[in-house]
Structure 1
Amino acid sequence: MVNPERGFRYSLDDLIQQADPATLADFRARGTSLVYAYARLDPYREQDLPPEFLDGLRQALARVRAAGMKVILRFAYNLGPYPDPEPDASRERILAHIRQLTPTLRENADVIAWLHAGFIGAWGEWHSSTHGLDRDLEAKRAVLQALLEALPRDRSVLLRYPKDLRAFFPEPLTEERAFTGEDQARVGFHNDCFLSSDSDMGTYWPPETREEDQAYLAQTTRFVPVGGETCAPYPPLQACPVALEEMARLHFSELNLAYHPEVVEYWRREGCLEEIRKRLGYRLVLEEAELPQALVPGGALEVRVRLRNEGFAPPVNPRPLYLVLSGPQEVVFPLEQDPRRWYPGAHAFTARVPLPDGLPPGRYRLALWLPDPYPSLRDDPRYSLRFANQGVWDGARGWNVLGEVEVRERP
């Protein structure tokens, strides 16, 4: 079941060169809504980005949109190798490139799920910088701040290392400050060596900080995106019970299905790959919908809904919720619910809305609609959130149908 902004994803080494319609369509057909991609800046380490690069980036993002996908984007000046990578760029050049990229990022934020901080070091992974930026906290702070300013306030930037998150924001994110648009509420975490050694190959360094770092992350990641990939087999941490527990604790929304192949095959063989597939990000199950037996024009429509999030995380980007009444006339009612607060576990709400006086009598369907908030994607059902129940989804409209009610003529 494909749902936006969650799940397993595939990767591209060069968004501009490799995001062709056939490749993206194949990813979508395999059941993914996300693609991770580098935007390669290798030729521009010492110069401005040319118009041709910016045009190519816009065109690639347009192809992502046409495919019904979203991209997890990272800008990088090299793809390694480790430990002696090709060069990255200076702090001044990086900040200049971010200024150039800002209009394109803002224009295409609808199909950017979230952005990796990138730019610095090998693979843009904030280590092994040939300019020493990975050891310069103020340079890293400047890059993060520039990226937060480049993106709309509804989009997040993910950092590679807990030590950087904790240096910038010493106290973990609280529910009161979550989803406010302030800087800390927009900074998530990606682990590119998830469960791949005692320290996750230096993610937690020194290794004995792992528990302390994870306690911080467990709180913060309730409200921000988390993703990544494994990078080497390490059975002590990759055993299914351990892996599932850590994905739940750190609220993973996405993982690379293609890497590391031995780890993915191990999960398949051990029997938990399908559970991981279902639980990455959100998995919303409608448990009960209490509907009125009959309605009259000018009266009130009251619906009680109980649902359960069986996933590792809530929906992490803003998303509206509407109640739809569809029959001889169609009426859409906005509801005061924030799906980002549908954390793993049980949820219930009651919606009470006034009906139009002139509503025609007849049979109506009642549905919940959770479209993408961007006007460019709002009416594309591929970007609407889908409940996990069988027989609920209207794929043509992007609705989750609760049932039918009758509108009778007013006495």
Structure 2
Amino acid sequence: MKHQPSLAISLALALTACNGMITDGDDHVGAGIEEDTVTDGSGDDTTSGNAPMVSVELEESDAAIANPERGYYVGYDLTRPDRAPLVRASGRALAISVVHLDDFRSQPISSSLLAALDAGFDAARANGFKIILRFSYHSGYDGDAPKSVILGHIDQLEPLLREHADVIAVMQGGFIGAWGEWHSSTNGLDNPTDRAAIINALLAALPPSRNLQLRRPTFKHDFAPGGPLDASEAWDGSDRARLGHHNDCFLASSSDYGTYASPIETWKQYVADDGRYTAIGGETCAIYAPRTDCTNAVAEMERLHFSYLNQEYNRNVLAIWDDQGCAAEVDQRLGYRFAVTRVAHTERVAPGGVLDLELDVVNRGFASPYNERPVEVVLDDGTTRRVVRLAADARTWASGVKTTLTVRLRIPAEAVAGAHTVSLRLPDAEPSLAEDPRYAIQLANEGVWLSATGDNLIIDALTIDPEAPGPRDPSANELVELR
């Protein structure tokens, strides 16, 4: 960590003035970065007679981080759980599983395949990664299945989708047409009515916490008209809010091989607006200079809020990014990339007293998380670890924005005197994964990650001092956020 001299409390208050908008000379953020403020507190005087505030700057890291639900993905055959360890071994935390139903175009899915899929999901969980899920009846232009068969298959799959939703990062529409990419159906399913029936079935089969991605923005518009999402609809559980986009010929032509209908710019902006609140990703499939050149590629991923890309295809396009020097940037910035640039906190706190805490969080990534992401603060004296979940969701920490998180925490009256560490923790929202550090978000800061717990150390020595000034509650028995 890089420490600055302690600041008097008057300076700490000045930083929170003017609606909390902070200008700290952070050149790394760059021109055009927005500033936003998330304030969680009781609305009382932030000092309450406490000891002075101190401020610490944290150093950012340029390391590639295999954080959950983002980045380059690799392939994983769900019917081969023995191959699950290869995903993390490749340095990735995200895999695509395209499940082939070629043998079931006219019959139910066999119990043996369902059991194999069940084991494949379990293996993903055991090995600490998540899955982009798609079902298809072939890898090419062979026949798909009739709508009645597809709907029956979705009914069969629903128990699996719900049981294993914790390790499903996002699901793609699939089922229809060539590669399950919703074109060239041999059963006449390339129409809004049949697509709507399958979308409805998939949204009902998936738990409300999960997004469904469609292959073209016009497909979402046909199903759920009303233009792209805005902030008032974000994450409200509606069908519109749960529909994202996957582009499997990203940058391959002016229309990305038909991904965008005419007028192309209108539909591209639709995805860009939607991408602030839904899952966006895909793969490249052909060189198309200059769109596939670094300058244009990075700008488009930033605009569209890309969270993931295929590491294995198209290798010719990826080689261009290596040659032109943007490969590392893409690897770092796909999805979210959070860093805490400044921490201000009460210098000393009495047992039962109040810790005022203020964090500047920047998101250097192309996107924000598309699944719920809780925010926790951890207080640890080396013997006792206390965790409080804040009234915050990291999905709101938008790409290109510096967010100021302001919280007040009541320290338990039984907290022992001495130095305590304070950490920021961003666990998975699913109870089955919440305590697994492999599914927690690592900050892009130097020296903060505690891999055993999934904590990010932001204060290495907070002093709990019975003589510290400020009001206290002798009956306080747990670490809580004051609102």
TM-score past 0.5 threshold: yes
Match of 1:10 among 65, 74, 85: 74
Q: Give 1:398's aligned residue.
A: 454
Q: How do 1:207-246 and structure 2 match up within 5 A?
A: 208-246=262-300
Q: How many residues align?
A: 400
Q: Secondary structure at the match of 2:432?
A: coil
Q: Secondary structure at the match of 1:20?
A: helix
Is the aligned partner of 1:47 residue 2:111?
Answer: no
Q: Give 2:323's aligned residue.
A: 269
Give the conservation status (yes or no) of the 8 Å contact 1:10–1:36. Answer: yes
Is the aligned partner of 1:259 residue 2:313?
Answer: yes
Q: Give 1:58's aligned residue.
A: 118
Is the aligned partner of 1:338 residue 2:393?
Answer: yes
Q: Distance in 2 between matches of 1:371 and 1:222?
A: 21
In the TM superposition, residue 4 of structure 1 has moved relative to its aligned partner by 0.5
In the TM superposition, residue 212 of structure 1 has moved relative to its aligned partner by 0.8
Question: Could you tell me which amino acid in structure 2 is paired with residue 307 of structure 1?
Answer: V
In the TM superposition, residue 86 of structure 1 has moved relative to its aligned partner by 1.2
What fraction of aligned residue pairs are identical, expressed as a percent? 43
Match of 2:186 among 130, 155, 163: 130
Q: Distance in 2 between matches of 1:64 and 1:376?
A: 13
In the TM superposition, residue 239 of structure 1 has moved relative to its aligned partner by 1.1
Is the aligned partner of 1:286 residue 2:340?
Answer: yes
Q: Distance in 1 between matches of 2:328 and 2:267?
A: 28
In the TM superposition, residue 331 of structure 1 has moved relative to its aligned partner by 1.5
Structure 1, 300-309 or 168-177: larger mean CA deviation: 168-177
Q: Distance in 2 between matches of 1:51 and 1:255?
A: 32
In the TM superposition, residue 49 of structure 1 has moved relative to its aligned partner by 1.3
Q: Distance in 2 between matches of 1:225 and 1:20?
A: 29
Q: Give 2:163's aligned residue.
A: 107
Q: Secondary structure at the match of 1:229?
A: strand
Question: Could you tell me which amino acid in structure 2 is paired with residue 275 of structure 1?
Answer: E
**Unmatched 5+ residue regions in structure 1?**
none
**Unmatched 5+ residue regions in structure 2?**
1-64, 469-483
Give the conservation status (yes or no) of the 8 Å contact 2:224–2:239. Answer: no
Q: Secondary structure at the match of 2:86?
A: helix
Give the conservation status (yes or no) of the 8 Å contact 2:78–2:116. Answer: no
Is the aligned partner of 1:360 residue 2:416?
Answer: yes
After superposition, the C-alpha distances for 1:219-260 in whole angstroms (9 at most, x for unaligned) are 111100011001111112111111111101110000001110
Q: Distance in 2 between matches of 1:283 and 1:108?
A: 26
Where is the helix percentage greater, Structure 1 or Structure 2?
A: 1
Q: Give 1:71's aligned residue.
A: 131
After superposition, the C-alpha distances for 1:7-33 in whole angstroms (9 at most, x for unaligned) are 011124x4214x424xx3333133211
Q: Give 1:409's aligned residue.
A: 466
Q: Secondary structure at the match of 2:428?
A: coil
Give the conservation status (yes or no) of the 8 Å contact 1:329–1:360. Answer: no
Question: Could you tell me which amino acid in structure 1 is paired with residue 192 of structure 2?
Answer: L
Is the aligned partner of 1:164 residue 2:222?
Answer: no
Q: Give 2:352's aligned residue.
A: 298
Give the conservation status (yes or no) of the 8 Å contact 1:290–1:304. Answer: yes
Q: Give 1:195's aligned residue.
A: 251
In the TM superposition, residue 410 of structure 1 has moved relative to its aligned partner by 5.4
Question: Could you tell me which amino acid in structure 2 is paired with residue 155 of structure 1?
Answer: R
Match of 2:368 among 314, 319, 329: 314
In the TM superposition, residue 89 of structure 1 has moved relative to its aligned partner by 0.7
In the TM superposition, residue 362 of structure 1 has moved relative to its aligned partner by 2.2
Is the aligned partner of 1:33 residue 2:81?
Answer: no
Question: Could you tell me which amino acid in structure 2 is paired with residue 8 of structure 1?
Answer: Y
Q: Give 1:144's aligned residue.
A: 199
Q: Secondary structure at the match of 1:15?
A: coil
Give the conservation status (yes or no) of the 8 Å contact 1:284–1:388. Answer: yes
Structure 1, 326-335 or 263-272: larger mean CA deviation: 326-335
Is the aligned partner of 1:325 residue 2:389?
Answer: no
After superposition, the C-alpha distances for 1:296-333 in whole angstroms (9 at most, x for unaligned) are 11111111000110000001110111111011422111
Q: Distance in 1 between matches of 2:186 and 2:454?
A: 48
Q: Give 1:20's aligned residue.
A: 82
Q: Distance in 2 between matches of 1:217 and 1:378?
A: 31
Question: Could you tell me which amino acid in structure 1 is paired with residue 204 of structure 2?
Answer: E
Q: Secondary structure at the match of 1:79?
A: coil
Q: Distance in 1 between matches of 2:193 and 2:75?
A: 30
Give the conservation status (yes or no) of the 8 Å contact 1:309–1:342. Answer: yes
Q: Secondary structure at the match of 2:284?
A: coil
Q: Give TM-score scaled by structure 2 length.
A: 0.81
Q: Distance in 2 between matches of 1:73 and 1:111?
A: 10
Q: Distance in 2 between matches of 1:252 and 1:286?
A: 22
Structure whose CA Rg is larger: 2
Give every structure 1 segment of 4 or more consecutive aligned residues whose post-TM-superposition deviation is greater than 6 Å: none
In the TM superposition, residue 214 of structure 1 has moved relative to its aligned partner by 0.9
Question: Could you tell me which amino acid in structure 2 is paired with residue 304 of structure 1?
Answer: E
Q: Distance in 2 between matches of 1:296 and 1:138?
A: 64
Give the conservation status (yes or no) of the 8 Å contact 2:133–2:171. Answer: yes
After superposition, the C-alpha distances for 1:180-239 in whole angstroms (9 at most, x for unaligned) are 11111110000000000111111123xx42101011111111100011001111112111
Match of 1:250 among 296, 299, 304: 304
Question: Could you tell me which amino acid in structure 2 is paired with residue 182 of structure 1?
Answer: S
Q: Distance in 1 between matches of 2:78 and 2:450?
A: 32
Q: Secondary structure at the match of 1:346?
A: strand
Give the conservation status (yes or no) of the 8 Å contact 1:45–1:77. Answer: yes
Q: Distance in 2 between matches of 1:262 and 1:272?
A: 14
Question: Could you tell me which amino acid in structure 2 is paired with residue 353 of structure 1?
Answer: L
Give the conservation status (yes or no) of the 8 Å contact 1:195–1:230. Answer: yes
Question: Could you tell me which amino acid in structure 2 is paired with residue 20 of structure 1?
Answer: D
